[in-house]
Amino acid sequence: MSFQIDNRAIKKALNKVNSSNKSNRSLKKRSEDFQVFQDVFNKPTLLTLYSLFNNGTLSYLNGIVNSGKESNIFWGVTPEGNDVAIKIYLTVASEFRKRLKYIEGDNRFKNINTNGHKLIELWARKEYKNLLKAYSINIPVPKPIAVKQNVLVMEFQGIDGSPFPTLSETEVSESDLHEVLDLVTKLYTKCNLVHSDLSEYNVFKNSSDLILFDFGSAVDVSHPMSKDFLSRDLNNLCRFFSKRGIPKFDVEKKYQELIDNDV
Ligand SMILES: Nc1ncnc2c1ncn2[C@@H]1O[C@H](COP(=O)(O)OP(=O)(O)O)[C@@H](O)[C@H]1O
Ligand SMILES: [Mg+2]
């Protein structure tokens, strides 16, 4: 889907949302993309985007990059002309309820209100914080730029609105496996984080450089389930690389090495 949305378009859309259902119906007839538009750009999200346009974070949205169950990713452009990825978490609370276990038990998110919208906002903030932590110790991740309510803005990893391929979409080698294991190690030992949703779908490959992303599920090592998540991450990597013909590594040994901090 290709379009351009700036603050004038948002203003118009807000007027539409505020006006009668009748005009919404006619808009629906005119645009087959309206359903996506309406799901993503509900009134609170429009207001959030509007404030990101007005505070100089964003200049316009340039199209959708990916739509998922929990979020949609847009290609956006800053007033300086830099490409950004805008992850808009869908305000459909049920999907996020399933994910409560990644938040409860993380000391950083004690005393939180885990209802509806607040939970989604928390999820966006959590991803932002995780990215910031990883970025600050030079782990290759998209640089986080801003988070507001359910909208996360980060550096765009790709060219002209096309993301770099993920490991699942490209050739991989044994050195990619070593590289990703090094990143997992660095993340665990230097950053105290476990990605917790690591797979071939959440690692970009740009020529030979790997970039980890999708940090919403990442937990602090103090989380009671962090070791289970770590083990699952390592198993996912082992499974994927062996499917691609790369010899299996010793998951148990790597896991022990990490949790003993013996690296
Ligand atoms: N920083 C980014 N730059 C470019 N594309 C991105 C970026 N983040 C996500 N994407 C695109 O959106 C897709 C889904 O992003 P992800 O964060 O994994 O969301 P989900 O939670 O739906 O898995 C990625 O596979 C990629 O195509
Ligand atoms: Mg993902």
> Which pLDDT tens digit goes with each residue over 234-247?
999 999 999 999 99
Res 25: pLDDT: 52
Active site residue 214: yes
Other C-beta atoms lying within 10 Å of the C-beta of residue 234: 21
Nearest Cα to Cα of residue 70 among 43, 39, 110, 35: 39
Residues 30 and 125 in one domain: yes
**CB of 163 sitting under 6 A from ligand 1:** yes
Q: Which residue has the higher pLDDT, 5 or 109?
A: 5
Residues 44 and 67 in one domain: yes
For the cut 60, the answer to whether the pLDDT of residue 22 exceeds it is no
Residues 157 and 172 in one domain: no
Residues 51 and 17 in one domain: yes
Residues 39 and 90 in one domain: yes
Long-range contacts of 112-117 (CB under 8 A, 24+ apart): 116/91, 117/44, 117/91, 117/93, 117/149, 117/150
Residue 242 CA to residue 183 CA, distance in Å, equals 19
Residue 137 burial (10 A CB sphere; 0-12, 13-18, 19+): exposed
Residues 255 and 239 in one domain: yes
**pTM: predicted TM-score of the whole model, two decimal places:** 0.87
Residues 157 and 97 in one domain: yes
Helix axes 174-189, 226-243, angle to 10 degrees: 170
**CB of 177 sitting under 6 A from ligand 1:** no
Of 40-44, 154-158, 228-232, the range with the lowest mean pLDDT is 40-44
Pocket test for ligand 1, best of 65, 72, 145, 167 (most atoms within 8 A of CB): 65
Residue 139 CA to residue 224 CA, distance in Å, equals 24
Res 116: pLDDT: 66
For the cut 80, the answer to whether the pLDDT of residue 177 exceeds it is yes
Q: Which residue has the higher pLDDT, 141 or 40?
A: 141
The arithmetic mean of pLDDT across residues 83-88, rounded, is: 98
**CB of 162 sitting under 6 A from ligand 1:** no
Residues contacting residue 236 through CB under 8 Å, at least 6 positions apart: 198, 199, 200
Give pLDDT tens digits for 66-79.
988 889 999 999 99
Q: Among the options 106, 214, 220, 233, which is catalytic?
A: 214
Going from the Cα of 36 to the center of ligand 1, the distance in angstroms, rounded, reads 17
Domain count, the chain: 2
Of 49-63, 64-78, 104-118, 228-242, the range with the lowest mean pLDDT is 104-118
Residues 148 and 182 in one domain: no
Going from the Cα of 83 to the center of ligand 1, the distance in angstroms, rounded, reads 14
Residue 9 CA to residue 76 CA, distance in Å, equals 14
CATH code of the domain containing 47: 3.30.200.20
Active site residue 197: yes
Are residues 132 and 63 in contact, defined by beta-carbon separation less than 8 angstroms? no
Domain containing 33 equals 5-161
Q: Is 71 helix (H, G, I), strand (E, B) or coil?
A: strand
Residues 32 and 59 in one domain: yes
Residues 31 and 122 in one domain: yes
CATH code of the domain containing 211: 1.10.510.10
Give pLDDT tens digits for 117-172.
788 889 999 999 999 999 999 999 999 999 999 999 999 999 999 999 999 999 99
Q: Among the options 106, 197, 220, 233, which is catalytic?
A: 197
Residues 26 and 141 in one domain: yes
